[in-house]
Chains A and B, each alone.
Chain A
Amino acid sequence: MDFFARQAETRRLSRWMVLLFILAILAIVIAIDLVVVIVVAILSVEDGGLLASQDLSLARYPLVVLVTSIIVVSTIGISSLVRTASLSAGGSSVAQQLGGTRITADTTDPLRRRLLNVVEEISIASGVPVPQVYVLEREAGINAFAAGHNPANAAVAVTRGALVNLNRDELQGVIAHEFSHVLNGDMRLSTRLIGWLFGLTVVAMVARLVLRHAPRGGGGRKGGGAVVVIMAAAVIVLILGWIGLFFGRLIQAAVSRNRESLADASAVQFTRDPQGLRGALIKIGALGVGSRFSDTDAEEVAHLLFAPGLARAFSTHPPLAERIREIDPHFDPKEFETMRQRMNQERQLAQEEAARSQPPAAERLGGLLDGAIVLAPAAVAQMVANPGTEHVLQTHGLLASLPPGFQQVARQPEKSAALFIALALDLSADARGRQLAFVHQQLGGEFHDAVQALLPQVDSLIAVQRMPALLQVFTGLRQLARTERIALLKCLNGLLTREGRSSAFPYALRKLSQVQLQDELDPRRRISGTQTLSGARDDLHLLFSVLAMHGSEDEKEARRAYEIGMETLLPGIRPPFMRPGHWPPQLDKALTHLDRLQPAAKEMLVEALVRTISHDLRMTVPESELLRAICAALHCPLPPLYTATLDKAAG
């Protein structure tokens, strides 16, 4: 079965799922209607009303039936919607709700490092972007799942048990299995199913609530009977709630069972090695806890899991032995037992080993690997909108290095405007002359003279100081009146068309002022992100090309930087590195598109940008300026990182 056949199969399955869901709702509604009608009838009999007619057909109480049906349907509908909305962030929300811890690229824990590496490998093999990776630390069984609405907000979670018990190849098999869920589109279906299932089980939950909070003992003479009847009704509804549960599990089993076999097959295809997956399945069979979850919330996600998380009637997965036989027809179930013995022995050996050798004292923790590179991509992505103390200190140091009196100037609205324009001027005398003439014409002679007076100060700044200086100026600028700001921005746009050649700083200056001054003028402009990474291929191509170009003069180095950033976002086919000519207008357009990315995709993007920048272990000034501008345009603020030349680890 090829890729398209699998996706078609998924669509067929989701239609089947909708049908089952509607049937389930119908069954619940009819059953509850019946119960309510009986209760109403009994109550009215007690009142001495309808003694004569004992006909309990639904048609006798059309209003009761209608109201009850509407209440039941909307309860199911609304709770489904609420649950679905709680998963809107994609796979990460599912993983977090099950107690998952995110693994970032700078982890130094060997097991986590290995997991992350394996995920990156399979991402290359399958052409799916690297998802977020979580570990379920509390789970000792061997299990894993992938969740999310699309590859860009997918998350892969692995239990602690899998991390500890599986070797590298087995882990690879499990991860490849999960990736095939992402690729074939069943992850999307499964994630959506979580919301629906919640709606179906809500009836039972409501009944349970009624039972718990119902007044105990007969309060009044007449009310006592009613309470008893209502309690009885709640018990019945609780039992009826099992209808929902029944259908829910039926749907889970229907969706999950054959998807799992397919995913096993694709996993072998990705890794080209059936041994890994086979070994993982055998270990599940051999391990005492197997693949079981301790967290009962796992009920909801049973259909997402790699292997059954709970024992129950409608199994979500084919039996282990059957799954192994699909991969290896000669499998003998006795292997479970041999594996169990082997795992026990290994555990014993490991314990003895640990007892004998104390942890190596103060062994220098590898200053050689990614983990120790100061600019670890995930760390920077984490720093977004979360400046650590270190950065406050660095900023402080840089600000102190600015010429005396600079800060006072920057804080006064009128002077800050002049300083702002002075910073925007081109460095070459020729272009600067043209620009100054334009300033004179636009904002008057007085302003022109103020700018001119500030020029010596501005020119004395070294490259690293320009960005902190600019950021200072914004505090003053924000105090300007609306009309003044608009005039200033208009002048700025005119200046930039008169500059010599496109370079990073003026671009960053304009982009930042757009975000800092213009967005504030129009606060309602909020873009909700739905764009996917693969849909923004051309924009990413340009963005990374421009960034890589500023990282290195050398064509080959730049191409390498480009590839390192892009490979995490578009692991499959991606356009080759190019050296764009006059890039600012194109980059503007690309950034506007990229601002519409989904939040999770934006995080991946920032991470990838830092990968590109840090591939040669140093960040040039233009790179830092561009990164700042890009993050501002994407509406993810970034703390200031400035040039940090790191020694290559090998030295």
Chain B
Amino acid sequence: MIWIVLGLIVLLVLFVVGIYNGLVTARNGYKNAFAQIDVQLTRRHDLIPNLVETAKGYLAHERGTLEAVITARNAAVSGLKAAAANPGDASAVQNLATTENALSGALGRLFALAEAYPDLKANRNMMQLSEELTTTENKVAFARQAFNDSVMGYNNRREMFPGSIVAGMFAFTAAQLLEIESPQKREVPKVAFT
């Protein structure tokens, strides 16, 4: 009898260990996936000072917009720093999404403004920078998908029975999905045909 009980206890312990390890693997998985977003977002942030520098010469009267872009960029940089330090911190990731969206908004206004300055639009640097920003944002969007997939996998594991019990025992916190809106397409403006 006692052996059966002992055997059951050992089985139970093994079971819990298995679930625990599964949770840890899933957590490392999404943390690693974050590193791939980190690379692209950093590149995005690095491009923006160049963009502002280029636009400055043409948009001397629009300092407000340019400053807004720089402010939003700096906020996003610190947001990224906090989130990269601990991708498991839900509020940091949420904050990153907010700052990135604000940055996208500020950039959108800058590009909308640039429409009125044909010289700026035709500037070779500006065109290159715009292309690099677009590709970086697309890469963020695709890398983000992988991150969100693994966050969802982790959260499902954490919330479903019996994982939820183990997660509760060892304080596995919920991870936050990263929702960055895709910025508006910055194509050459469509020519209107009537």
**Cβ contacts under 8 Å, A124 to chain B:** 36, 139, 142-143
- The residue that A120 contacts in the complex, of B53, B135, B191, B193, with Cβ under 8 A, is B135
Contact status B35-A366, CB under 8 Å: no
Tell me if B39 and A120 are in contact (CB < 8 A). Answer: no
Tell whether, in the assembled complex, residue B49 and residue A366 are in contact, meaning their CB atoms are under 8 Å apart: no
In angstroms, Cα B128 to Cα A236, docked, is: 60
CA distance A360 to B125 in the complex (A): 12
Which among A3-11, A110-118, A144-152, A215-223 touches the partner chain? A110-118
Inter-chain contacts of A365 with B (CB < 8 A): 124
Contact yes or no, B128 A576, CB < 8 A: no
Give the contact stretch, choosing among A341-349, A435-443, A460-468, A502-510.
Answer: A341-349
Asked if A205 lies at the interface with its beta carbon under 8 angstroms from chain B, I say: no
A40 interface residue, CB < 8 Å from B?
no
Stretch touching chain B among A242-250, A252-260, A557-565: A557-565
- CB interface residues, B 121-137, toward A, < 8 Å: 122-125, 127-129, 131-132, 134-135
A342-389, CB < 8 A from B: 342, 345-346, 349, 357, 360, 363-366, 368-371
> Shortest Cβ distance from B46 into chain A, in angstroms?
8
Pick the residue among B32, B38, B49, B53 that contacts A560 (CB under 8 A): B38
Q: Which residues 88-143 of A have a CB within 8 angstroms of B?
A: 108, 110, 113-114, 117-118, 120-121, 124-125
Can you name the residue of chain B whose Cβ is closest to the Cβ of A270?
A: B142
Q: Cα distance A254–B132 when bound, in Å? A: 40
B16 close to chain A: CB less than 8 A: no
Q: Please tell me if B185 contacts chain A, counting CB pairs below 8 Å.
A: yes
A21 interfacial contact with B, CB 8 Å: no
Majority SS at the chain A contact face: helix
Q: Which of B147-193 contact A (CB under 8 A)?
A: 185, 187-188, 191, 193
On chain A, the residues within 8 Å of B44 by CB distance are none
Distance in angstroms between the alpha carbons of A577 and B32 in the assembled complex: 9
Among A110, A118, A124, A650, find the residue whose CB has the most chain B CB atoms closer than 10 A.
Answer: A124
A114: chain B residues within 8 A (beta carbon)? 131, 135
A:441-476 near B, CB below 8 Å = none
For A559, the chain B residues whose CB sits under 8 A away are 35
Q: When the two chains form their complex, are residues A121 and B138 in contact, meaning their CB atoms are under 8 A apart? A: yes
Contacts of A414 in B (CB 8 A): none
- How large, as a class, is the contact surface on chain B? 35 or more
Residue of A168, A345, A650 near B50 (CB, 8 A) is: A650
Instruction: Give Cα A556–Cα B31 distance, bound, in whole angstroms.
Output: 14
Partner of A556, one of B28, B49, B84, B185: B84
Task: Tell me which residues across on chain A come within 8 A of B98, comparing CB atoms.
Answer: none
Cα-based distance from A560 to B122 in the complex (angstroms): 33
Q: Is the CB of A342 within 8 A of B50?
A: no
Closest to A353 in B: B122
Partner of A577, one of B35, B42, B145: B35
Query: Contact at B123–A649, with CB atoms within 8 Å?
Result: no
Instruction: Determine the residue in chain A with the shortest Cβ distance to B126.
Output: A366
Contact of A169 with B135 in the complex, beta carbons under 8 Å: no
Q: List, in ascending order, chain B residues with CB within 8 A of A371's CB.
A: 128
> Which residue of B42, B49, B125, B187 contacts A650 across the interface (Cβ within 8 Å)?
B49
| Interface hits, B18-76 → A, CB 8 Å | 28, 31-32, 35-36, 38-39, 42, 46, 49-50, 53
Q: Measured between C-beta atoms, what is the minimum distance from A649 to chain B in Å?
A: 6
How far does the alpha carbon of A558 sit from the alpha carbon of B143 in the complex, in Å? Answer: 20
User: CB-defined interface of A380-413 with B at 8 Å, one 1/0 digit per residue?
Assistant: 0000000000000000000000000000000000
A368 and B127 alpha carbons, distance in the complex (Å): 12
Which residues of chain B come closer than 8 Å to A370, judged between CB atoms?
132
Question: A residues touching B (Cβ–Cβ < 8 Å)?
Answer: 108, 110, 113-114, 117-118, 120-121, 124-125, 167-169, 172, 341-342, 345-346, 349, 357, 360, 363-366, 368-371, 556, 559-560, 563-564, 567, 572, 574-577, 649-650
Q: B residues near A, CB below 8 A?
A: 28, 31-32, 35-36, 38-39, 42, 46, 49-50, 53, 84, 122-125, 127-129, 131-132, 134-135, 138-139, 142-143, 145-146, 185, 187-188, 191, 193
Known: A113-B128, A349-B191, A366-B128; 19 extra A-B contacts, CB below 8 A, are A117-B132, A120-B135, A121-B139, A125-B142, A167-B187, A169-B185, A172-B138, A342-B193, A360-B123, A364-B125, A365-B124, A366-B124, A368-B50, A368-B128, A370-B132, A559-B35, A560-B38, A563-B38, A563-B39
Give 8 nearest A-B pairs by CB, closest first. Answer: A117-B135, A125-B142, A124-B142, A576-B32, A121-B138, A368-B50, A366-B125, A563-B39
A-B contact pairs, 28 of them (CB 8 A): A110-B127, A114-B131, A117-B131, A121-B138, A124-B36, A124-B143, A125-B145, A168-B134, A342-B193, A345-B191, A345-B193, A357-B122, A360-B122, A363-B124, A363-B125, A366-B124, A366-B125, A560-B39, A560-B42, A563-B35, A563-B38, A563-B39, A567-B36, A572-B146, A576-B31, A576-B35, A649-B50, A650-B49
